[in-house]
Structure 1
């Protein structure tokens, strides 16, 4: 079993700043692309990804992933996490969510039928909660 190739963190940071691709860095250091990605994560050089799991808590089928409700919920989630989408997309999501909240509606998801608007059940509306988080982050930012 061979020794793990060492990736100098300082040099890795310099190459990332210069815009080198993962493939180029792998060849430069003599490691796999996966090794470069692991080194970047360990060195804190990977931009954090957004997690939309709270805004879209369902296992959404491929045919519904780009639907209006899924897209609007992801855009509100991005805003809540401090990375709002382009203003047109954000405004569309805000208007959509506010329309549902004002009408006493929420969304439900079914893997076969997709998203549908439903009356708010017992407790708090999912859309209202996602909208509140987005508005709070936008006002704080």
Structure 2
């Protein structure tokens, strides 16, 4: 087994800044693209991964993972974490969540039934997810106005 290839972080930062693709960087440094991604993370060149566990705290069955509610919750979660979400997808998620909150409803999940609407409790899941997405959107709009 050969010695692990070393990626010079200063050179990685410079080449990545010049727009080199991960494939080109991998070839240049003699490593896999996965190795480049690991080196980029170590050098602080990649964004942290988005974590949707607050918005989707359930273990979803495969057939429910791409449903409308799951997609809307992921889009709201991404917006809450400062990620760019296409305007039409974010608006769809905001309208959906607002309809639920305005009608005193929450979203629940059961592996057999999938997602379903339930009367909202004081600690409404959908109200919290919606508030976090709106807070982040308001914050990014305010930052845009400051620039």
| TM-score, length basis structure 2 | 0.85
Number of corresponding residues:
140
Instruction: Work out whether residues 101 and 127 of structure 1, in 8 Å CA contact, stay in contact via their aligned partners in 2.
Output: yes
State the 1:47 CA deviation.
2.2
Spell out the pairing of 1:58-69 with structure 2 (5 A cutoff): 58-69=58-69
Instruction: Quote the residue 1:124 is aligned against.
Output: 123
State the 1:54 CA deviation.
0.4
**Is there any run of 5+ residues in structure 1 with no aligned partner, and where?**
none
CA distance in 1, matches of 2:90, 2:36: 34
Task: Give CA deviations for 1:29-69 in whole Å, capped at 9, x if unaligned.
Answer: 12233322221111011122211110111111221111111
State the 1:120 CA deviation.
1.6
Instruction: Work out whether residues 104 and 119 of structure 1, in 8 Å CA contact, stay in contact via their aligned partners in 2.
Output: yes
CA distance in 1, matches of 2:68, 2:32: 39
Instruction: Work out whether residues 109 and 116 of structure 1, in 8 Å CA contact, stay in contact via their aligned partners in 2.
Output: yes
Instruction: Quote the residue 1:41 is aligned against.
Output: 41
Q: Secondary structure at the match of 1:108?
A: strand
Q: Secondary structure at the match of 2:48?
A: coil
Instruction: Work out whether residues 84 and 90 of structure 1, in 8 Å CA contact, stay in contact via their aligned partners in 2.
Output: no
Instruction: Quote the residue 2:80 is aligned against.
Output: 80
Instruction: Quote the residue 1:21 is aligned against.
Output: 21
Aligned-CA RMSD value: 1.7
